[in-house]
Structure 1
Amino acid sequence: MYNSKIIGLGKYVPDNVVTNDDLSKMMDTNDAWIQERTGIQERRWVKEGSGDTTAVMGVKAARIAIERSGIDKDDIDFIVFATLSPDYYFPGPGVFVQKELDIKTVGALDVRNQCSGFVYAISVADNFIKTGMYKNILVIGSELHSHGLDKTDRGRGVSVIFGDGAGAAVLTREENNSKGILSTHLHSQGEYAEELVVKAPGMGTRWVTDILAENNPEDDSYFPYMNGQFVFKNAVVRFSEVINEGLEKNNLQVSDIDMLIPHQANLRISQFIQRKFQLTDDQVFNNIQKYGNTTAASIPIALTEAWEEGKIKEGDTVVLAAFGSGFTWGSVIIKW
């Protein structure tokens, strides 16, 4: 059995910065209200006509990750793409990455686990490498939320949270089992699936033809719905559980954590976890203030920034943790 290790990281965010004050011109909200509840000051939203899509942003992040990895794109054996906002209903964006990067006809897998998407994708890639099936895997998390948000007073509780962007990582084989990704841990609780959901269009609920035929301007089923307080309460519990699960699996203590990178769902969740584990500011990386919640892209964007800023060094114990729609949650324990 091999371990896998991350050898290249990259990120891409659109140039268009949307501040809280900008949002106050679209809906009844303000900077103080948004910051108090989420910690977010601004986010990036793709401009119409820019050419950026979920797949395109993923490609841009992937190019950087591959260049930094030191391997050739033709050495990539497999692609895993995590997103809730694909360019098309089908096919998924993984195949477009393969096409745009002109990678040979390797497999491309799309992962639909929303906020936990990158953690799930890393776990899939890690286990493919551990079994020896593949050697070099490209993992991407990318989201374009802004074109699907309700930017009226009705949707303000959700729409102020989300941003667009992409992050990518290249994983390769590591023969030293004390290095690289030590373990991954995945969970779900489907009984709460509709507490954070976009219900339509869907084959089992209301299809596009139904929505068009009804022509009901009051219909909000195709916008995100979130039971915010309920999600928060579950998130802080599951974050804690899955971080502890990973530490216990590897005989580690909280004091061994050099860097915790939580999914950037809400700064208040991250701060709650930081206090609970008694971690210092140097042990936790947050950038939701700048980018908002980029769902499957949030961890790879944050991981890339932390590495770029020299906050992750060789030999560090790095913990990734996520919780989101599904409910799904997970963690990754890495010896960098």
Structure 2
Amino acid sequence: MYNSKISGLGYYVPENVVTNDGLSKLMDTNDEWIQERTGIKERRHVVKGDGDTTTTMGVKAAKIAIERAGIDKDDIDFIIFATLSPDYYFPGPGVLVQRDLELKRTVGALDVRNQCSGFIYALSVADQFIKTGMYKNILIIGSELHSTGLDMTTRGRAVSVIFGDGAGAAVLTRAEDNSKGILSTHLHSEGQHAEELALIAPGMGSRWVTDIIKDNNPDDESYYPYMNGQFVFKNAVQRFSEVIMEGLKTNNLGVEDIDMLIPHQANLRISQFIQQKFKLTDDKVYNNIMSYGNTTAASIPIALTEAWEKGKIKEGDTVVLAAFGSGFTWGSAIIKW
């Protein structure tokens, strides 16, 4: 059986910086209120008309990852695209990436809809494809365009201040050395809490676009994301801890073996809780939610790329990725760099 390793990383965020003070001009909020609850200072939002979409941001990140992997784009065998904010209801952005990168028609494209856990799920699928020998180089993208779908009023501030736009990408490549690369991935779900963090409409089985237009109800909040914040926080800290320990134990590792933990950037308070619980020093946990907000499926690949670019991840390091989000879904990946 083959092993898989991350051979290239890249990320892209829009140039438009939206500060907490900037949001205070749109809704009843302030910098202190937002930072106290989330740790976020600013985030990036696309500017209408500048050409940024979920797909184009993903393509920009992918080009960087492919170049850093030292391969040609025609060496890509498969695409896995994780997002909750596709350009179209269908088709998904995976095929749009194949088109925009002008990849050969033999390349398959898969879309993953696991929200904040999307990149971990995509990484796990890619890892299995490579380990079985089916593919050699897989392009994985996590990209989100949240800003155009948020309720940017006081009514929606509890959710809207959290999210930002951006994309991250990784190339997963076949490796002969089984002692390095993706050691294991671990995936879980608990659908009974699906509506605690969800965007209900438009949906084929609930309220479709025609219903929303027909009702013309300005008080309808079904097409804006809803989050039961305290309930999500409580579940997140529990599941993060469990799935990280699951990954470590599978590989006969302990918390002391972690060289770098990169958690999904949902809320700085969640990351700090996990860091304190595991007694990890600041140099062993990477957070960038302060600058980008929660970019959902893009948050881990953006943070992973930044940490690597800054030299915080070195060859031989044990890197742990972990995520929790809507679904509920959660997962972890243990990597020997």
* TM-score of Structure 1 vs Structure 2, range by shorter chain: over 0.9
Q: Which residue of 1 aligns with 2:5?
A: 5
Q: Which residue of 2 aligns with 1:320?
A: 321
Gaps of 5+ in 2: none
- Matching residue's letter, 1:225: Y
- Matching residue's letter, 1:159: S
Mapped to 1, the partners of 2:153 and 2:168 lie a distance apart of 29
> Is 1:116 aligned to residue 117 of structure 2?
yes
> Is 1:226 aligned to residue 227 of structure 2?
yes
Mapped to 1, the partners of 2:315 and 2:188 lie a distance apart of 29
SS at match of 2:332: strand
> Is 1:51 aligned to residue 35 of structure 2?
no
Q: Which residue of 2 aligns with 1:125?
A: 126
SS at match of 2:244: helix
Q: Which residue of 2 aligns with 1:75?
A: 75
- Matching residue's letter, 1:84: L
> Is 1:300 aligned to residue 287 of structure 2?
no
Mapped to 2, the partners of 1:206 and 1:160 lie a distance apart of 26
Q: Which residue of 1 aligns with 2:90?
A: 90
- Matching residue's letter, 1:3: N
Q: Which residue of 1 aligns with 2:176?
A: 175
- Matching residue's letter, 2:15: D
- Matching residue's letter, 1:79: I
Residues 256-310 of structure 1 show CA distances to partners (whole Å, capped at 9, x for unaligned) of 0000000000000000000000000000000000000000000000000000000
Residues 168-203 of structure 1 show CA distances to partners (whole Å, capped at 9, x for unaligned) of 000000111111000000000000000000000001
Mapped to 2, the partners of 1:22 and 1:321 lie a distance apart of 31
SS at match of 1:203: coil
TM-score w.r.t. the length of structure 1 is 1.00
Q: Which residue of 2 aligns with 1:66?
A: 66
- Matching residue's letter, 2:199: V
Q: Which residue of 2 aligns with 1:39?
A: 39
SS at match of 1:43: strand
Q: Which residue of 1 aligns with 2:144?
A: 143
Residues 114-147 of structure 1 show CA distances to partners (whole Å, capped at 9, x for unaligned) of 0000000000000000000101000000000000
Q: How far off its partner does 1:3 sit?
A: 1.1
SS at match of 2:28: coil
Runs in 1 of length 4+ with deviation above 2 angstroms? none
- Taking the TM superposition and a 5 Å limit, the aligned residue runs for 1:279-290 are 279-290=280-291
- Taking the TM superposition and a 5 Å limit, the aligned residue runs for 1:241-260 are 241-260=242-261
Identity %: 82
- Matching residue's letter, 1:326: G
Mapped to 2, the partners of 1:3 and 1:183 lie a distance apart of 10
- Matching residue's letter, 2:335: I
Q: Which residue of 2 aligns with 1:187?
A: 188
Q: Which residue of 2 aligns with 1:236?
A: 237
Q: Which residue of 1 aligns with 2:208?
A: 207
Mapped to 2, the partners of 1:257 and 1:301 lie a distance apart of 20
Residues 84-116 of structure 1 show CA distances to partners (whole Å, capped at 9, x for unaligned) of 000000000000111111111100000000000
SS at match of 1:173: strand
Q: Which residue of 2 aligns with 1:309?
A: 310
Q: How far off its partner does 1:320 sit?
A: 0.2
Mapped to 2, the partners of 1:178 and 1:2 lie a distance apart of 11
Mapped to 2, the partners of 1:235 and 1:248 lie a distance apart of 20
Mapped to 2, the partners of 1:307 and 1:37 lie a distance apart of 28
SS at match of 1:296: helix
Q: Which residue of 1 aligns with 2:29?
A: 29
- Matching residue's letter, 2:89: Y
SS at match of 2:253: coil
SS at match of 1:11: strand
SS at match of 1:182: strand
Mapped to 2, the partners of 1:44 and 1:137 lie a distance apart of 28
TM-score w.r.t. the length of structure 2 is 0.99
The alignment yields a C-alpha RMSD, in angstroms, of: 0.3
SS at match of 2:9: strand
SS at match of 2:178: coil
Mapped to 1, the partners of 2:154 and 2:263 lie a distance apart of 29
Residues 215-264 of structure 1 show CA distances to partners (whole Å, capped at 9, x for unaligned) of 00000100000000000000000000000000000000100000000000
SS at match of 1:166: strand
Residues 18-67 of structure 1 show CA distances to partners (whole Å, capped at 9, x for unaligned) of 00000000000000000000000000000011100000000000000000
Mapped to 2, the partners of 1:157 and 1:254 lie a distance apart of 33
Mapped to 1, the partners of 2:99 and 2:306 lie a distance apart of 27
